[in-house]
């Protein structure tokens, strides 16, 4: 069973990368390099330091934005779930933010805050915060009502109800919201670096595209996709260890 867990993903990767290699050698487009050339470009950019240097610029606003969402976003979502007044004022705003094409707001952020670190952090927060807040809110509101009633039947205080019943039960959904927020944060930082300021991975993508170095361009794109996938998968595995299946809804 453990071997099958690794064999099937390996077969999937070989199949996808094999198709990529064939499509690049066909070629379906002059701007679409084979996987072998992309892998060599990725290795070359790693060795010469351009890729690590780009990630130092990319990860800083991403980490700051996700930390802000993790603290303020989760806190605000919990407040919405516990307070009808906060919910009444805030829920329509976050529903609109979830549905709005947030990428269209990026130029407005640039106009107000310029092209520095603040604008990039805000781009991450704008895309990640609605997901984090709404998942935290839904986790609080979807707490098993019978558990809450049991706590009240045993004369539990409101504090005990929140700390011992509501928050532990909502923890899995809150953590899932943080994981989804990280995914949106990766989207936000790449959009910010492509549209706000040419730095980091966005700069590598834009530059190599402009000079027709397509293997390097695809290598930069592949690297950010791989990093995002690994980070999200790591959080998913951590979520499975922290929360039992009945809490996660599995």
Q: What distances in angstroms separate CA 142 from CA 42, 182, 195, 249, one per listed residue? A: 45, 23, 38, 11
pTM of the model: 0.84
CA dist., res. 158 & res. 160, Å (int): 5
pLDDT digits (tens, 9 = 90+) for 6-37: 777 778 888 888 888 888 888 778 788 889 99
Nearest partner of 58 among 213, 225, 246, judged by Cα: 225
- pLDDT at position 209 over 60: yes
What is the arithmetic mean of pLDDT over 125-146?
86
What is the arithmetic mean of pLDDT over 191-213?
84
Higher-pLDDT residue of 1, 177: 177
DSSP 8-state class, residue 102: G
Higher-pLDDT residue of 154, 240: 240
- pLDDT at position 2 over 60: no
Q: Which residues of 180-196 are buried (b: 16+ CB within 10 A; e: fewer)?
A: bbbbbbbbbbbbbbbbb
Which range, of 142-151, 175-184, 202-211, averages the lowest pLDDT? Answer: 142-151
Residues 6+ apart with CB under 8 A from 231: 182, 186
Q: Take residue 224 and report the two structure tokens written for it.
A: 């950010």
pLDDT digits (tens, 9 = 90+) for 48-90: 988 999 898 889 889 999 999 888 988 888 888 888 888 888 8
DSSP 8-state class, residue 195: H
Higher-pLDDT residue of 2, 150: 150
Output the pLDDT for position 216: 92
- pLDDT at position 250 over 60: no
Output the pLDDT for position 31: 83
Output the pLDDT for position 1: 54
Tell me the backbone φ, ψ of residue 101, rounded to 5 degrees.
Answer: -75, 90
Q: Which domains does the chain have, with CATH numbers?
A: 59-197 (1.10.3720.10)
Output the pLDDT for position 93: 84
CA dist., res. 127 & res. 189, Å (int): 9
Query: Quick one: CA dihedral 117, 100, 137, 249, positive or negative?
Result: negative
CB 172 within 8 A of CB 240: no
CB 107 within 8 A of CB 126: no
């Amino acid at each position: 069973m453990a071997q099958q867990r690794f064999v099937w993903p390996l077969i999937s990767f070989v199949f996808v990368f094999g198709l990529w290699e064939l499509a690049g050698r066909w070629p379906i487009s002059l701007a679409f390099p084979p996987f072998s050339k992309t892998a060599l470009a990725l290795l070359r950019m790693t060795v010469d330091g351009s890729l690590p240097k780009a990630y130092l610029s990319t990860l800083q606003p991403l980490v700051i934005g996700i930390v802000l969402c993790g603290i303020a976003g989760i806190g605000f979502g919990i407040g919405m779930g516990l307070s009808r007044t906060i919910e009444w004022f805030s829920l329509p705003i976050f529903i609109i933010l979830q549905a709005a094409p947030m990428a269209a707001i990026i130029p407005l952020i640039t106009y107000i805050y310029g092209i520095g670190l603040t604008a990039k952090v805000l781009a991450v927060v704008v895309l990640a915060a609605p997901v984090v807040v709404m998942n935290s809110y839904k986790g609080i509101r979807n707490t098993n009502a019978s558990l809450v009633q049991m706590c009240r039947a045993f004369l539990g205080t409101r504090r005990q109800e929140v700390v011992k019943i509501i928050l532990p039960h909502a923890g899995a959904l809150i953590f899932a919201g943080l994981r989804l927020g990280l995914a949106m944060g990766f989207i936000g930082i790449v959009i910010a670096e492509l549209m706000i300021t040419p730095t980091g991975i966005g700069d590598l993508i834009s530059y190599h595209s402009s000079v027709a170095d397509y293997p390097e361009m695809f290598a930069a794109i592949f690297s950010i996709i791989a990093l995002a996938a690994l980070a999200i998968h790591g959080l998913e595995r951590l979520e499975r260890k922290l929360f039992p299946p009945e809490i996660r809804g599995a």
